[in-house]
Amino acid sequence: MGSDLEIVRILLPVVIASGIAVFVVMRMKHKYKKGTLGKKESKGAQNLLDSLIPLGMMIGCTISVLLSIFFPISLLSIIGLGAGIGLLFGYFAYKIYSKEGESYS
């Protein structure tokens, strides 16, 4: 029974992060096919918009490393989970920021 619980503790962060990644990729693919990807007029605003998802992943990894320092959580599993959650927050930030101004060139 103990080994089953250990396997679940190992695989659960991978399953959660991969589920989030599949969700984000499928939503972005849907936006691409519909032609509703966010576009901004200025180059700087477009660069920020394009960088929100990777920035979310980096911030998620950073927060997960800090959490693993203060709490007894395995560093390897929490980094993957933090990147997945950061990917989700980056996608939501992309979605919100792309609607601000609604500028299509």
**Is there a domain that residue 80 lies in?**
yes
**Is there a domain that residue 104 lies in?**
no
Average pLDDT of the chain is 88
CB of 35 closer than 8 Å to CB of 73: no
**Is there a domain that residue 51 lies in?**
yes
Predicted pLDDT at 91? 93
Predicted pLDDT at 45? 86
Predicted pLDDT at 93? 92
DSSP readout, 23-48? HHHHHHHHHHHHT-----SSHHHHHH
**Is there a domain that residue 105 lies in?**
no
**pLDDT band, very low/low/confident/very high, at 38 (cuts 50, 70, 90):** confident
Question: Domain total for the chain?
Answer: 1
For residue 24, give its domain range.
2-99
Instruction: Give tens-digit pLDDT for 46-104.
Output: 888 889 999 999 999 999 999 999 988 888 888 989 999 999 999 999 999 888 765 55
**Is there a domain that residue 64 lies in?**
yes
**Is there a domain that residue 69 lies in?**
yes
Residue with structure tokens 């320092």?
A: 69
Token reading at 1: 């029974």
